[in-house]
Chain A
Amino acid sequence: MKTTITVNGEARTLDLDTRTTLLDALREHLGLTGSKKGCDHGQCGACTVLVNGTRINSCLSLAAMHDGDAVTTIEGIGSVGKLSPLQTAFLTEDAFQCGYCTPGQICSAVGMLQEVADNWPSQETTDLTGKISLTDDELRERMSGNICRCSAYPQIVAAIRSVAGEPA
């Protein structure tokens, strides 16, 4: 079926089998292979993209469900020579080894920092009516939907911390 999605600022119209996930539409039909297929079941976070600014697992969503939506993938966050602050921080802090989970980690971090700015609570939030302070416990909890099998977690925390700043 015909589906039009604005991907990284450009309207793209695709004629897809209804079964096509958003992830497969991005990777197989638009050639945007930055978003990764790890588990394909929403357990690893490697497929994380931003839809209308909100992070989701693109493997657990049908492309058809996103007709009219605006999707940002890692390719829309930055590119060689024009890296975003988070991408630069992941390099500076050595926040990956194999790099397979990295696009999902960075897209997830972009969405996560917006959620903190919007004062959304997490499991680590003790004062539900106060202002969120992004402690390391909060940061780790909020990134728990992104698995890194190389276990670069301390560096991932450091990279995100270097962009987010110290907690208030």
Chain B
Amino acid sequence: MRPFTYERATDAAGAVTSAAATPGSKFIAGGTNLLDLMKLEIEQPAHLIDVARLPLAAIEDAQDGGLRIGAMVTNSHLAADARVRARYPVLTQAIVAGGSGQLRNKATTGGNLLQRTRCAYFYDTAKPCNKRQPGSGCGALEGLNRNSAIFGGSHACIATHPSDMAVALSALGASVETLSPHGEARAFDLDDLHRLPGETPQIETHLIAGELITAVVLPPPPSGGQVYRKVRDRASYAAGLASIAVAGDQVALGAVAHKPWRARLAEAALAAGGSPTEAIAAELAGASENGRNGFKISLVARLGPVAIAEARNNGSAA
């Protein structure tokens, strides 16, 4: 690990002020992804601003009937919240499908959104990776790309976003609240947080340098049932090969793109009266493969309709 200085922030305004004043600084909350990458020297922050104890760890009822989730709420506490379990079960299911108990106890809502890809070429510092070292090339394009994206990739990068939680948040139509380094608060749709790789896969979000996620806001749950389904190489504690979150008529796919993939084409097909199979096929019309990840297209074609049917069944049983 490279040397760095460390400070513990006591309020969000102080944290962003410090980030603006300190080049090479990063926020650390749970640290489960950042420290892993710092040990490998993939991340080399000069300064860490510990935001874990900021007073942003509450889950509050929003006036419109939704929920406002503080950015420092741990994954475990969010999954266990009685309101989430009763009204947003897809979110609980997605969170407990990710990581291990130990990791979920440390990982935070904000940090989970900003975790980085598990692409093997990103992790292997002996290999080219445009995300880790811009301009070095992409080893996955013609390499071991079984875990790579089938939506939204570019000739520079086909890495996937690994979060399960974010897929459920996308299907639920969540928004994100932030504080800029100049102290300005803003809010935007979660679907506008992450970028597609394009020519600059090293830039993963639309956050500006030193901008801090302070909360995730859920609108009231959409009508209809919910479900999260994930397929992976072993039964527990593994990243997904493909996953799907369904909340009423809203659908998002996971482990298939550089961001949680809101399946708008599938949603439009459902709204037009199409069957679940036709809806998923409409989304997959835009998919592409690089060889070893081609199985994900048939996997999603099978997983998607089953999950939509299961969500509808959950909705009619409720």
A residues apposed to B, CB below 8 Å: 1, 17-19, 21, 40-42, 45, 48, 54-57, 60-62, 64-65, 67, 108, 111-112, 115, 118-123, 125, 128-129, 140-146
When the two chains form their complex, are residues A18 and B6 in contact, meaning their CB atoms are under 8 A apart? yes
B48 an interface residue at 8 Å Cβ cutoff? Answer: yes
B125 an interface residue at 8 Å Cβ cutoff? Answer: no
When the two chains form their complex, are residues B6 and A111 in contact, meaning their CB atoms are under 8 A apart? no
When the two chains form their complex, are residues B36 and A42 in contact, meaning their CB atoms are under 8 A apart? yes
A146 to B96, CA, bound (A): 16
For B94, the closest partner residue in chain A by CB is A123
A118 to B32, CA, bound (A): 23
Partner of B6, one of A41, A62, A121, A122: A62
B3 an interface residue at 8 Å Cβ cutoff? Answer: yes
Chain A positions within 8 Å of B3 at CB level: 17-19
A142–chain B nearest beta-carbon distance, Å:
6
For B236, the closest partner residue in chain A by CB is A144
A108 to B100, CA, bound (A): 11
When the two chains form their complex, are residues B96 and A56 in contact, meaning their CB atoms are under 8 A apart? no
When the two chains form their complex, are residues A65 and B101 in contact, meaning their CB atoms are under 8 A apart? no
B43 an interface residue at 8 Å Cβ cutoff? Answer: no
Selecting from B58-66, B84-92, B183-191, the interface stretch reads B84-92
When the two chains form their complex, are residues A123 and B96 in contact, meaning their CB atoms are under 8 A apart? yes
Beyond the given pairs A56-B105, A61-B106, A64-B6, 13 more chain A to chain B contacts, judged by CB atoms under 8 angstroms and listed by A's residue number, are A18-B6, A45-B102, A54-B76, A54-B105, A55-B101, A57-B106, A62-B35, A64-B8, A111-B101, A128-B93, A144-B235, A145-B100, A146-B100
When the two chains form their complex, are residues A65 and B105 in contact, meaning their CB atoms are under 8 A apart? no
With A18-B5, A40-B39, A60-B32 in contact, do A142 and B101 touch (Cβ < 8 Å)?
A: yes
When the two chains form their complex, are residues B96 and A125 in contact, meaning their CB atoms are under 8 A apart? yes
A30–chain B nearest beta-carbon distance, Å:
20
B52 an interface residue at 8 Å Cβ cutoff? Answer: yes
Chain A positions within 8 Å of B76 at CB level: 54, 115, 120
For A140, the closest partner residue in chain B by CB is B236
When the two chains form their complex, are residues B101 and A108 in contact, meaning their CB atoms are under 8 A apart? yes
A108 to B86, CA, bound (A): 28
B310 an interface residue at 8 Å Cβ cutoff? Answer: no
When the two chains form their complex, are residues B102 and A145 in contact, meaning their CB atoms are under 8 A apart? yes
When the two chains form their complex, are residues B80 and A144 in contact, meaning their CB atoms are under 8 A apart? no
B229–chain A nearest beta-carbon distance, Å:
11
Within 8 A of A (CB), among B1-33: 1, 3-6, 8, 28, 31-32
With A41-B36, A65-B28 in contact, do A56 and B102 touch (Cβ < 8 Å)?
A: yes
A118 to B237, CA, bound (A): 22
B231–chain A nearest beta-carbon distance, Å:
13
With A55-B101, A61-B31, A115-B101 in contact, do A1 and B106 touch (Cβ < 8 Å)?
A: no
Chain B positions within 8 Å of A111 at CB level: 101-102, 105
B318–chain A nearest beta-carbon distance, Å:
11
A-B contact pairs, 11 of them (CB 8 A): A18-B3, A18-B5, A40-B39, A41-B36, A61-B106, A62-B48, A65-B31, A129-B82, A141-B236, A143-B101, A145-B100
Chain B positions within 8 Å of A145 at CB level: 99-103, 237
Partner of A120, one of B4, B8, B80: B80
Partner of B31, one of A1, A60, A112, A121: A60
Chain A positions within 8 Å of B4 at CB level: 18-19
B233–chain A nearest beta-carbon distance, Å:
13
B149 an interface residue at 8 Å Cβ cutoff? Answer: no
Chain B positions within 8 Å of A55 at CB level: 101-102, 105
Within 8 A of A (CB), among B38-56: 39, 48, 50, 52
- The 0/1 profile, CB within 8 Å of A marked 1, for residues 236-248 of chain B is 1100000000000
A123 to B92, CA, bound (A): 9
For A115, the closest partner residue in chain B by CB is B101
For A64, the closest partner residue in chain B by CB is B6
Chain B positions within 8 Å of A45 at CB level: 100, 102
Chain B positions within 8 Å of A56 at CB level: 102, 105-106
Most chain A beta carbons < 10 A, residue from B48, B102, B236, B237? B102
A140 to B235, CA, bound (A): 10
Partner of B96, one of A57, A65, A121: A121
B79 an interface residue at 8 Å Cβ cutoff? Answer: yes
With A120-B80, A121-B79 in contact, do A128 and B92 touch (Cβ < 8 Å)?
A: yes
Which 10 A-B pairs rank lowest in CB-CB distance, beginning with the nearest? A145-B100, A144-B236, A128-B85, A120-B80, A144-B237, A18-B6, A19-B1, A123-B96, A145-B102, A57-B102
